[in-house]
Amino acid sequence: MTLKIINKIKYLLISNSILRNIIVFNYYKYYKKNTNFYNHSDLHKIGFISGTDKYDKWHSFKNISYLDIYHQYFKNYKRNKINILELGVKNGSSLKTWQNYFKQATVVGLDMNANCKKFENKNTHIYIGRQEDNKLSNKIINRYNYFDIIIDDASHINELTIKSFKLYFPHLNKSGIYILEDMTTTYEDLNKVIGKWDGELIKNKEYGINLTNERKVMDILFSNIIHMIDKKENDMFAIHFYSGTVIIEKL
């Protein structure tokens, strides 16, 4: 099956809510029957129903999903008035997950794809642009001041991940949580998968971004964070490494 056909199917599922709901409902019944669904966290279950991929086997280790991990950090925020920023919107399903999990959250999404603007609603605001854009980050920060949770699920290009962290971490609230997702890509030369992703890598390459990820640049970032935590410098409190995802807590 060609990439063009796959993308057409994806578009059909995203744009046709009736068809999508039929498929999700039937898969939901199958999934509950054939997995230990009820042993997972509330966030995992909500993520599954909302259609995000943060629960699936590619985002799990030994049957513990990203969302199972995040639930332990997020559960005390469920009924608080908080601001959430996610870099990378794609089909809007993870933004929907946060909407359904957090009762009083303002959810902000940022993506390069202008079509993502359609996922905007009363409590979800979408910005179109690059994750490392200084002017755009200033615009976002000027509106919301601080975020309680920031999730980077954007380009997965190490250079851009680090730039975004330096832009947005200073605007993470006290006791806030910053998440870096899909760390397996930090070892990969993304030039080799450029045709398999939804055009984002091509756009970044055309923009002059180096897609050859070198893990050592991420290791330097993590080493510096650990150093600051050990020396009680800055406002880093803790860093937690899980399979595929890293969680950084702020004092």
Residue ranges and CATH numbers for the domains of the chain are 35-250 (3.40.50.150)
Written in H, E and C, the secondary structure of the chain is CCHHHHHHHHHHHHHCHHHHHHHHHHHHHHHHHHCCHHHCCHHHHHHHHHCCCCCCHHHEECCEEHHHHHHHHHHHHCCCCCEEEEECCCCCHHHHHHHHHCCCCEEEEEECCHHHHHHCECCEEEEECCCCCHHHHHHHHHHHCCEEEEEECCCCCHHHHHHHHHHHHHHEEEEEEEEEECHHHHHCEHHHHCCCCCCHHHHHHHCCCCCECCHHHHHHHHHHHHHHHHCCCCCEEEEEEECCEEEEEEC
- 216 falls in which pLDDT band (50, 70, 90)? very high
The mean pLDDT of 142-158, rounded to a whole number, is 97
Given this model, what pLDDT does residue 196 score? 77
Mean pLDDT in residue range 98-106: 96
Q: 71 and 43 in contact (C-beta within 8 Å)? A: yes
Are 128 and 112 contacting, i.e. CB atoms less than 8 angstroms apart?
yes
| 38 Cβ contact partners less than 8 Å away, ≥ 6 residues apart | 32
Q: Give the confidence band of 17 by pLDDT, cuts at 50, 70, 90.
A: low
How confident is the model over 74-94, as a mean pLDDT? Answer: 96
Report pTM. 0.86
**Residues 6+ positions from 124 with CB-CB distance below 8 Å:** 95, 99, 106, 107, 108, 109
Question: What's the pLDDT score for residue 46?
Answer: 94
Of 35, 85, 84, 42, nearest to 56 by C-alpha is 35
Q: Which residue has the higher pLDDT, 74 or 26?
A: 74
Cβ neighbours of residue 104 closer than 8 Å, sequence gap 6 or more? 79, 80, 81, 82
pLDDT number for residue 221: 98
